[in-house]
Amino acid sequence: MGVVSSPMTSNSIEVAGLRKDFGSLRAVDNISFAVAEGEIFGFLGPNGAGKTTTQRLLTGVLRPTAGDIRIMGRDLRKDPVAAKRHVGVVPENANPYRDLSAWHNLMLMGRLYGMAKKRREQKALQLLEYFGLLDRRRAKTKTLSKGLNQRISLSMALIHDPRLLFLDEPTSGLDVESTRLIRRLIVDLNTRGVTVFLTTHDMQEAARLCDRVAIVCRGRIAAIDSPDALRADFSSAQSVEVAFEKPLRDPALLQELASVSGVRQEKGKYILFTDRPGEVACRVALLARERGLGLRSINTRAARLEDVFVHLTAAKGSGNGER
Ligand SMILES: Nc1ncnc2c1ncn2[C@@H]1O[C@H](COP(=O)(O)OP(=O)(O)O)[C@@H](O)[C@H]1O
Ligand SMILES: [Mg+2]
């Protein structure tokens, strides 16, 4: 199965042959991986890839159709309470109770975890201060912005000092300051030894924060590696998008330009994949002039996750199956 489960290595998460079907839809398709203790592990994929479903399986919200999950060395199915004791979770679109204040939400969570009053109050104050929420702690959360609510959700997930934290798109759609704070928190927690499972569709976020990243699409894992090792894949999925005034008789000319690794036609435009978009843009402009084609538009594009995934699966010949 390729999952490391030796008792010598301490993995916070071990997944073997995990699958989840919703009726005829296979949302998670036989994935196996392990996350070492102390890692920031990115689960990176486009919308609908199966990220949220995977997080919900790993946190015991959903039951797998097949496969095994071990969390902090415990079998999640056989021993769910022990497996989840040191786990914190921020689900997708997390929300504190709207009619309660940040303070009361935190006290409620602390009580759920059986924390003594003094300890939960101390911890709550510490978290509220970290997140810049001290002066708003008495306001009902429904009066606060999305960014502040997300900070409260994170505080709630951290009240019991978890050793493993699951975050589902924690910065998605947030203001700059909240995003910055949350990213700093992830790094701070990690320096204190907390393992982080970070679900995201943001390649930059994953590359910046994570020790290792799994690239997922259509319920499958296309690659797992360090951001440095994946960078070549990210960078060769950059592209130049060009439209000519006149039809190009011989599209093979584009493929033959230096530094072009692939060409795709899309709605009257050509997409030229390259790790050197600036250079390719110049060559295309020259070609257009030489051939008198006329340039209608030309743009360079950063790598898109979908394209990285296509590159990876094409290179490995694994394809996307018949789904
Ligand atoms: N409860 C559910 N019932 C049926 N289909 C679902 C359910 N949850 C998710 N899906 C489907 O599973 C696929 C993966 O969804 P999801 O895990 O939310 O992806 P992601 O978080 O990567 O955007 C999608 O096609 C989605 O529509
Ligand atoms: Mg999701």
pLDDT score recorded for residue 233: 79
Same domain, 45 and 175: yes
Same domain, 249 and 294: yes
**Nearest-10 Cα torsion for 160, 162, 166, 172:** 60
pLDDT score recorded for residue 315: 58
Same domain, 131 and 208: no
Helix (H) or strand (E) holding 311: helix 305-316
- Ligand 2 center from residue 2 Cα (angstroms): 26
Same domain, 189 and 123: no
d(CA 171, CA 90): 11
- Ligand 2 center from residue 92 Cα (angstroms): 6
In this structure, is residue 320 part of a structural domain? no
Same domain, 140 and 252: no
In this structure, is residue 314 part of a structural domain? no
Q: Find the domain containing 294 and state its range.
A: 238-302
CB of 48 shorter than 6 A to ligand 1: yes
- Ligand 2 center from residue 176 Cα (angstroms): 21
Residue list, CB under 5 A from ion ligand 2: 51-52, 92
d(CA 227, CA 206): 8
Same domain, 138 and 9: no
Same domain, 135 and 282: no
Q: Which residue minimizes the CA distance to atom 12 of ligand 1? A: 27
pTM across the whole model: 0.85
Residues 100 and 108 sit within 8 Å (Cβ to Cβ): yes
| Domain end position, chosen among 173, 190, 225 | 225
134-152, pLDDT tens digit by residue? 999 999 999 999 999 999 9
Query: Among 18, 53, 93, 198, which is best to mutate for testing ligand 1, by the most ligand atoms less than 8 A from CB?
Result: 53
pLDDT score recorded for residue 40: 98
In this structure, is residue 319 part of a structural domain? no
Helix/strand/coil percentages in the chain, nearest 5: 40, 30, 35
231-263, pLDDT tens digit by residue? 877 888 899 999 999 988 888 999 999 999 999
Number of domain units in the chain: 3
pLDDT score recorded for residue 309: 76
CB of 47 shorter than 6 A to ligand 1: yes
- Ligand 1 center from residue 22 Cα (angstroms): 8
- What is the CB-side half-sphere exposure of residue 58 using CA atoms within 13 A? 36
Helix locations, 192-304, DSSP H: 203-209, 227-236, 252-256, 277-291
216-228, pLDDT tens digit by residue? 989 999 999 998 8
In this structure, is residue 233 part of a structural domain? no
Average pLDDT over residues 304-320: 65
Average pLDDT over residues 60-76: 97
Atom of ligand 1 nearest to the CA of 55: 17
pLDDT score recorded for residue 323: 35
Same domain, 167 and 261: no
Atom of ligand 1 nearest to the CA of 22: 4
pLDDT at 42 over 70: yes
Average pLDDT over residues 26-46: 97
> CA separation (Å) from 305 to 90, 112, 183, 213, 237?
23, 39, 20, 13, 8
CB of 214 shorter than 6 A to ligand 1: no
Same domain, 46 and 56: yes
pLDDT score recorded for residue 314: 67
**What is the CATH classification number for the domain harbouring 196?**
3.40.50.300
CB of 27 shorter than 6 A to ligand 1: yes
**Longest Cα separation, the chain:** 78
In this structure, is residue 318 part of a structural domain? no
**What is the CATH classification number for the domain harbouring 281?**
3.30.70
Same domain, 195 and 283: no
Q: What are the structure tokens assigned to 125, written together?
A: 């104050």
Average pLDDT over residues 99-108: 98
pLDDT score recorded for residue 308: 80
Beta bridge partners of 205: none
Specify the higher pLDDT residue, 190 or 249.
190
The owner of tokens 């999305």 is: 146
In this structure, is residue 24 part of a structural domain? yes
CA angle, corner 56, sides to 52 and 57, nearest 5? Answer: 120
In this structure, is residue 92 part of a structural domain? no
Helix locations, 89-145, DSSP H: 102-112, 117-130
d(CA 314, CA 240): 20
pLDDT at 2 over 50: no
Q: Which residues fall within 8 angstroms of residue 102, CB to CB, at 6 or more apart?
A: 96, 128, 133, 136, 137, 138, 139, 141, 144, 152, 155
Same domain, 19 and 82: yes
In this structure, is residue 321 part of a structural domain? no
Same domain, 156 and 298: no
